[in-house]
Structure 1
Amino acid sequence: MADQTAAYDIHIIGGGLAGSEAAWQLAQRGVKVRLSEMRGAGHMTAAHQTDGLAELVCSNSFRSDDDERNAVGLLHHEMRRLDSIVMRAGEVARVPAGSAMAVDRDLFSAEVQKALEAHPNITVVREQIETLPSQGPTIVATGPLTAAALAQSIGGATGQDALAFFDAIAPIIHHDSINMDICWMASRWDKTTEASNPEGDYINCPMDKEQYLAFHQGLLDAEKTEFKEWEANTPYFDACMPVEVMASRGVDTLRYGPMKPVGLDNPHMATEEFPKGRWAHAVVQLRQDNKLGTLWNMVGFQTKMKHGAQVELFRTIPGLENAEFARLGGLHRNTFLNSPTVLDRQLRLKSAPHIRFAGQITGCEGYVESSAVGLLAGMMAAAELGGREWSPPPHSSAMGALLSHITGDAEADTYQPMNVNFGLFPPLHDVHKKQRKEAYTSRGKADFGEWLKSAELVAA
């Protein structure tokens, strides 16, 4: 790691996914970076477990890696073309997850940190920044768990209150405590990739109708985390909806969501008529969480239930009767800016244009989206520091669509965190609905490729 007193061209505050990606992009373009991270300097957030850079605090999945039919897969493709450190580390730390890209979270963080600390243009400093710098190029990538003092400083600079929502974390289970005489390995519809386990990528825990109904009622009855008075009207983000909140929306909501049984033949139910087995009434899926395969997380089981209630109820799931939990679920409050109002098209704070914002604090949602916005902020800053004009990626690309949503397309009065999705792309009404996803990705790849050639933006 470089000398902490070394001169730098830009200051990045926050060593999460967005800050790490921004630092990498700038450093690869010859810009000297000071990267400040408060974890490791006696400070911690409500959700982090370590002081590692780019720590994953919720799921270990970067979601679909399908770049032919999926918006987030297209985003993966674009980030790889721009030498993303997040995508690099993700490949090293990858674990089987069907068509999704999931990683060993500890190995992933270690790979990102190793690359940044070894880079001659990056100085990592463990320190807490409590106020926005009054001058000098700065990128704020402190994420949705920004420390109170800095959040107050940001509020003062934006002239308005930050919006907020709750985010929930799913439990993680030790593999050797799972009863595989009841559970089985399989991917839905037997879909596999090169990274897949031969027998499938998910551990599936089956429920019959009676077990499911009892479990559903248990979710409704379980003791939950109590909100403070000031938290009472804070909304949830739909992609991280607590499982008990989903359950409250109807008895079958979970069976059409994270407990969907379709496409999962249970070999323990095999008969002469159905040699591959039958579908259960509902299924709880577990996804590999580390490279060793010793830890597995409960897919879609983010929760605000109290820890004792979680252990009691989740051990009623068939196959998890003796489950040992490496981590129980939890709930934390996320904050984000009303970006269409306070940021310009280059993610600069309108009231203080020497400051850019990146990552989830801008109102994007998801690991990959946060990283992508950090990547864009780094590229924008590098262009500005080099005296070059910045040409944004085309709106038809995943990066362009996400950037457009954050910086102006969304309605400021109703602005909410958003994952990348085809609803953010310019529509293709003349393409048949069945071919539309492929058409979006084909158009996006072509337009993004032309942008790269014309702008000469690929890192050296």
Structure 2
Amino acid sequence: MSQHQVHIIGGGLAGSEAAWQLAEAGIRVRLSEMRGGGDMTPAHQSDGLAEMVCSNSFRSDDGDSNAVGLLHREMRALNSLIMNVADQHKLPAGSALAVDRDLFSDGVTRRLMEHPNIEIVRERIDQLPSDGMTIVATGPLTAESLAHSIGDATGKDSLTFFDAIAPIVYRDTIDMDIAWKASRWDKVGPIGDGKDYINCPMDKDQYYTFVQGLLDGEKTDFKDWEKETPYFEGCMPIEVMAERGIETLRFGPMKGVGLDNPRTGRWPYAVVQLRQDNDLGTLWNMVGFQTKLKHAEQVRLFRTIPALEKAEFARLGGLHRNSFIRSPDLLDPQLRLKTSPHIRFAGQITGCEGYVESAAIGLIAARFAAAELGGKTLPPPPSDTALGALLGHITGGADADSYQPMNVNFGLFPPLADGVRKKDRKLGYTQRAGQSLAVWMNENSIKTN
């Protein structure tokens, strides 16, 4: 490719989705990714595009009663590469959309490499380009040199928070004489049989001993500049949750409610759940067990969990610093940097949280850019759609002074009309969103996938 029309910096989920959307619109793209060019982040394991770092789940795929499931539906309608490849490599996970993370990344990488309008360059970009249409999708692990350049361009200090990674266990080292497979309330998802999770039960004494172990365990040391950095609530390390109270974990990731232990006929006092992480079913991740415990401490403590006494770990938990910009102050409704409108931001660096949300903002940033290159202006999706609600939060709906990472949720949507019963509200949100998205797509001549 001799000349590009849009330069995308960052090959994560947002950058990959943006590249695909632009390329499918006939626009030539240069996609710069530093992994594979001699650089690596503290959290990534490979140089694959769209690598899923923390979890292998895109969360709920229920588009009738869940905001993220609705976002899935809207992205599929808009020809999302991320959703298409995720659907090809989904794993049993109840009503959630979980994928084999390696096959997923390989699939995205292959599709982008094969596209004639995309040039993938393994290079680190240290400065924001001074001209030319650019989408910055470097994510929460933006290289320090580029982060400084962004700070210089925005005149604002970046906000930061910590994100933690959950351990992954080899399936054949889990004691199934103690553990059992089931989904909460035996709920059956689009694939699977209602037995999508491996459950490791704890009685009261085992639970209290484990929580004390979390509190006493040796943690990762902080550097001076890290000490005041807040955590994102949706990815809270398990030991930090434990500090909030002895029972906190029993009402969070270790909740036993709705899980009948076939050996006792009762719900366990607490439970550790594992979710399938690859297509072969050989790797399972510990759900909600993001941690900043030191590695040796993780092995020692997690082997005290019933059924994991002989567990072997394909990956232990970790901790990394994430950064995002103060988007409500800095970006216009088209995701352009107000002080340098040739630059758009997309993905988690904007302050959205989650794989799906990151890809969704990459998708809409690319469609805005494609329209601009065609001499048109694409209006933002309606605020009562999942995509429009998320975009509105990022570009002005949130208070900039207290801005924090946010998953899509119905709290971002405009209220429903008076008189809608509480039990009907979720369906009301999704039905209204479907109608609004269809009108927006029709008015802007966007073809339905």
TM range (shorter): over 0.9
Q: Which residue of structure 1 aligns with residue 434 of structure 2?
A: 445
Asked whether 1:383 is paired with 2:371, we answer yes
| Aligned-partner Cα distance in 1 for 2:44–2:312 | 21
Question: What is the distance in 2 between the residues matched to 1:57 and 1:34?
Answer: 24
2:259 is the alignment partner of 1:264: yes
Structure 2 CA distance for aligned equivalents of residues 455 and 201 of structure 1: 41
Stretches of structure 1 that go unaligned for 5 or more consecutive residues are: 270-276
Give CA-to-partner distance per residue, 1:343-366, whole Å, 9 cap, x none.
111100111100000000000000
Identify the residue that residue 274 of structure 1 maps to in structure 2. Answer: none
Higher deviation after alignment, 429-438 or 379-388? 429-438
2:205 maps to a residue whose letter is E
Q: Distance in 2 between matches of 1:107 and 1:225?
A: 31
Residue in structure 2 matching 1:103, options 86, 99, 104: 99
1:90 counterpart (75, 86, 108) = 86
Deviation at 1:430, TM superposition (A): 3.1
Aligned-pair distance for 1:459? 7.3
Q: Give deviations 1:214-253, integer Å, cap 9, x for gaps.
A: 0011111100011111111110000000000111111111
Residue type of the alignment partner of 1:421:
N
TM-score normalised by structure 1 residue count: 0.96
Q: In structure 2, what is the equivalent of residue 240 of structure 1?
A: 235
Residue of structure 2 aligned with 1:362, choices 325, 336, 350? 350
Contact 2:93-2:276 within 8 A present in 1 as well: yes
Asked whether 1:320 is paired with 2:308, we answer: yes
Q: Separation in 2 of the partners of 1:434 and 1:219?
A: 38
Amino acid of the residue matched to residue 263 of structure 2?
Answer: H
Could you list the structure 1 runs, at least 4 aligned residues long, displaced by more than 4 angstroms after superposition: none
Structure 1 position 98, deviation (Å)? 0.3
Deviation at 1:9, TM superposition (A): 0.6
**In 2: Cα distance, 1:309 partner to 1:69 partner:** 40
Q: Is the 8 A contact 1:67 1:73 kept in 2?
A: yes
How many Å separate the matches in 2 of 1:228 and 1:124? Answer: 35
Answer yes or no: is 1:410 the counterpart of 2:406: no
Aligned to 2:73: 77
Equivalent position to 1:27, from 14, 19, 23: 23
Q: Is 2:219–2:292's contact at 8 Å kept on the other side of the alignment?
A: yes
Report the counterpart of residue 309 of structure 1 in structure 2: 297
Fraction of identical pairs, as percent: 68
Say whether the 8 Å CA contact 2:158–2:325 is kept in structure 1: yes
> Pairwise mapping of residues 116-265 of structure 1 onto structure 2 (< 5 A)?
116-196=112-192, 198=193, 200-265=195-260
Deviation at 1:266, TM superposition (A): 0.6
Deviations 1:151-171 (A, max 9, x none): 000000000110000000000
Q: Which amino acid aligns with 2:372?
A: E
One-letter identity of the residue aligned with 1:156: D
**1:108 shift after superposition:** 0.2
Partner of 2:389: 401
Distance 1:314 1:50 in 2: 26
Question: Residues of 1 paired with 2:350 and 2:302: CA distance?
Answer: 35
CA contact (8 A) 2:290 2:317 kept: yes
Q: For 2:253, what is the secondary structure of its paired residue?
A: coil
C-alpha contact (below 8 Å) 2:77/2:448 kept by paired residues: no
Spell out, residue by residue over 1:89-130, the C-alpha distance to the aligned partner (whole angstroms, 9 max, x if none). Answer: 101111110000000000000000010000010000111110
8 Å CA contact 1:25, 1:459 repeated in 2: no
Give the whole-Å Cα distance in 1 for the aligned partners of 2:4 and 2:396.
31
CA contact (8 A) 2:94 2:194 kept: no
| Other structure's SS at 1:185 match | strand
CA–CA separation in structure 1 for the residues paired with 2:7 and 2:88 = 28
Shift of 1:456: 1.3
